[in-house]
Amino acid sequence: MLNWITLNNIDELESIKEKSFQKPQVLFKHSTRCGTSSVVKSRFERATAIPDADFYYIDLIRYRDLSDKIATDFKVYHESPQVLIIKDGQCRYNESHFGIDMEEITEQVTTLN
């Protein structure tokens, strides 16, 4: 079962960057107003194989400033839904919309570990 860590504070991004030197950190930017985002979130939550990473959930409607900061800090174009894998302080992988796939995330996390 996937245990989300809720991310709602910009100050937590530094901690995530630091933790990424130990293991990958997965950020999922979710729009509560988007059907595609809800489908992707559901796919995450139904996954049976969860890779060794911390999984963060960002409600980008409530925390748009945080979402914008993530895009700036990790040099990615903002999309929704969007997943980023952070390792060694940098975004090593990102995908959006229906391109988000747990098998691909597992493969990427495994490669980065």
Confidence of residue 105 (pLDDT cuts 50, 70, 90): very high
Q: How far apart are CA 78 and CA 22, in angstroms?
A: 26
pLDDT in tens, 39-94: 999 988 888 888 899 999 999 999 999 999 999 999 998 888 999 999 999 999 99
Strand partners, 29: 58, 82
Range of the domain at 24: 4-112
pLDDT tens-digit map of 34-49 = 899 999 999 888 888 8
pLDDT of res. 2: 85
The domain spanning residue 55 has which CATH number? 3.40.30.10
| This prediction's pTM | 0.94
